Structure 1
Amino acid sequence: MASLARSTGRRLSFGLLAAALAVSGCATEVGGRALAGGAADEQSPAAKAPAPSGDPVAEPGQCVLGSSPAPVDCAKPHHVEVTKAGTFGADLPAARPDAAVIFKAALPECRTEAAKFLGSTDFDASTLAAWMLWAPVDDWAAGDRWYRCGVAQLDPDGKAVERTGSLKGALSGEKFFEFQVCSSAKPLEAAVKRISCTEPHHAEGLRVVTMGKPGDPVPTPDEFNAAARPVCGETLTKYLGTATRDDVVATWRWPSQTEWEQGFTNLTCYAQTDVPVTKKLRNLGAAPLPVG
């Protein structure tokens, strides 16, 4: 059980987490296409001797709809917008590995590309996320090791929503607040549970703080807290427009060892309330909390 602490050194207090906590799933395959299968995956390429499917695969600037990697115009309904194309090297096994191995190999790159494409490194504090697609089993066994990095908008269950239009630059500047994530759970106590910010919620995403690179050692809880305390606190003060409230606190969450290796090398700051609020707290100032 994670131990919890809260600073009381100033009226605008900070919530601390003293254990590594899982981030919500925000990178995965489309429609199960890239999920590892059963015994068939364990056969050798020679035994299967498949030929690549030759199916078209979306390229950067194109989008995909549903479980198919085929390109669609991003002006039409789609789930994922492709940001980068790549190929896995020979260091991965002949039989396609499970998602955890795939993520470790390429998700850090996809997350970096997502930040560039969206115009901000703060996408973990939003409803937008890095996404991955990769070759199906038969194509992989035939030596076609393609993968695609992409971005998607997530619903409360962490699934890509159908949308139209490009997300390029979607989080730059004030645009961030159009995609800001809200949570029905308190980040100080549990993993974030996405919910519409017009619904009763306990937390609002503020920003992320980069803590290193996937190959670096995972920071200690003290190091996470030391980095988070001033940045999250100052960000909350600016967000609220005041430093004198004691009913809104800055809280933060950070990744596990596995998530760190997959590119989640940051902590995420939130504005948290004890009582659920029904509107965003931005520029709240000294006004009462919007509780009804």
Structure 2
Amino acid sequence: MSSTGRIALAVSALAAALTLAGCADATTGLAEPDRVRATEMPADPPVLDDVPRTPSSNQAARTVVAGEGECLDGGSPGPVECSEPHTVEITKEGTFGGDLGSTLTDTPPDRATVFRTVFPQCRQAAAEYLGSGAYDASRLGAWLVWADADDWKTGNRWYRCGVAELDGDGQAQTRSGSVRNALADDFDAYRLCSTTRPSDALPTPVPCDEPHVAEAVGVVGAGSPDDRPPSAREFDDKARASCGAKVTEHVGDKRRDVAPSWRWPDEANWRNGFTNITCYAEFRCPTSGSARDGDPSGSPN
């Protein structure tokens, strides 16, 4: 079984259509408390399927793996130039150690154990590489690739953390060019906008220049993966004031057609390092282009 190209997603896609009826009338008044809704992630969030890897009789070629700052494409772990089409950009190199990397076992550890052990490091590496700890509010996501069963049998214990640009189905898009410091340079270029309302369903990501009804405006840290996950009430209490403030920072204080909402991780994703609440500005009617009104850098917090 191949173990390349795996990632746990805190946000993914749910197909939905925009409903335009009734959008000609402007709403009045600020968002009421009953419009500020928080919803949990599903109990079993989507995970990207494995990408088949081309078999090779040349064992040496199987162990050539892209390093930090290099890119890989599809199911092959070998490096490609980031200026060329690729799917993942590597942010951190690592080797399994201790019991996890035992040379006495012929098969890699199970996926849940690998993610629980390594993915929090990949999350941190993604934040540092992209230049923003708020990347959950973008279309860029952390990625984890590790040695498959054939490599493992020959003694290889490598893993690589990376980042990928995700499409509306949560799949890694083929792209060209590096995303190192991309969010520090121009967060709006990658901001997560959605055609579904996060208060009702998982976001359906689209570029913000396309019609959308919600924009991610920032994140609220809720703890550490080693902590007890907050209860729904604790998540809700932490998010309420903070997300409202972030929406105001994003759109200004004069909009009457915007309400804050937020989403938080389930327990499994919490243990994998998804410890942020993601805040959204929801619009009464679909809009195109970012609604941001403020800091020209566009970087949320």
Give TM-score scaled by structure 1 length. 0.79
Indicate whether 1:210 and 2:210 are aligned.
no
Give the drift of 1:105: 1.5
Which AA in structure 2 matches 1:163?
R
Distance of 2:189 and 2:44 partners within structure 1: 21
Which of residues 263, 271, 274 is equivalent to 2:281? Answer: 271
* 3-state SS in 1 of match to 2:234: helix
Indicate whether 1:31 and 2:51 are aligned.
yes
Distance of 2:31 and 2:66 partners within structure 1: 48
Cα deviation digits, residues 48-103 of structure 1 (max 9, x gap): xxx88643101112111121000112122211111111112242373223432221
Q: Which residue of 1 aligns with 2:108?
A: 96
Which AA in structure 2 matches 1:11?
L
Q: Which residue of 2 aligns with 1:80?
A: 88
Q: Which residue of 2 aligns with 1:58?
A: 66
Q: Which residue of 2 aligns with 1:181?
A: 192
Which of residues 248, 253, 260 is equivalent to 2:258? Answer: 248
Which of residues 112, 117, 138 is equivalent to 2:150? Answer: 138
* 3-state SS in 1 of match to 2:182: coil
* 3-state SS in 2 of match to 1:171: helix
Which AA in structure 1 matches 2:113?
V
Q: Which residue of 1 aligns with 2:5?
A: none
Alpha-carbon contact 1:52-1:144 (below 8 Å) kept: no
Alpha-carbon contact 2:39-2:264 (below 8 Å) kept: no
More moved, 196-205 vs 102-111: 196-205
Which AA in structure 2 matches 1:269?
C
Give the drift of 1:13: 4.1
Which of residues 112, 137, 147 is equivalent to 2:124? Answer: 112
Distance of 2:260 and 2:95 partners within structure 1: 41
67 and 120 in structure 1: CA distance in 2 versus 1, 3 angstrom threshold: same
Alpha-carbon contact 2:214-2:280 (below 8 Å) kept: yes
Distance of 1:64 and 1:30 partners within structure 2: 15
Q: CA RMSD in A?
A: 2.4
Identity %: 43
Q: Which residue of 2 aligns with 1:195?
A: 206
Alpha-carbon contact 2:63-2:151 (below 8 Å) kept: no
Distance of 1:171 and 1:152 partners within structure 2: 13
Distance of 2:187 and 2:248 partners within structure 1: 17
* 3-state SS in 2 of match to 1:140: helix
* 3-state SS in 2 of match to 1:31: coil
254 and 22 in structure 1: CA distance in 2 versus 1, 3 angstrom threshold: farther
Which AA in structure 2 matches 1:31?
V
Alpha-carbon contact 1:22-1:191 (below 8 Å) kept: no
Which AA in structure 1 matches 2:30?
R
Indicate whether 1:126 and 2:146 are aligned.
no
More moved, 87-96 vs 143-152: 87-96
Indicate whether 1:170 and 2:182 are aligned.
yes
Give the drift of 1:204: 0.6
Give the drift of 1:234: 1.1
Cα deviation digits, residues 170-217 of structure 1 (max 9, x gap): 1116x1111001111111111111123233222111111111111100
Alpha-carbon contact 2:48-2:171 (below 8 Å) kept: no
* 3-state SS in 1 of match to 2:78: coil
More moved, 194-203 vs 57-66: 194-203
Alpha-carbon contact 1:110-1:130 (below 8 Å) kept: yes
Which of residues 221, 227, 235 is equivalent to 1:224? Answer: 235
In the alignment, structure 2 segments of 5+ residues that lack a partner are 1-28, 54-58, 295-301
Distance of 1:21 and 1:234 partners within structure 2: 26
22 and 272 in structure 1: CA distance in 2 versus 1, 3 angstrom threshold: farther
208 and 21 in structure 1: CA distance in 2 versus 1, 3 angstrom threshold: farther
Q: Which residue of 1 aligns with 2:246?
A: 235
Indicate whether 1:257 and 2:257 are aligned.
no
Q: How many residues align?
A: 255
Alpha-carbon contact 1:122-1:207 (below 8 Å) kept: yes
Which of residues 4, 11, 17 is equivalent to 2:38? Answer: 17
Alpha-carbon contact 1:184-1:194 (below 8 Å) kept: yes
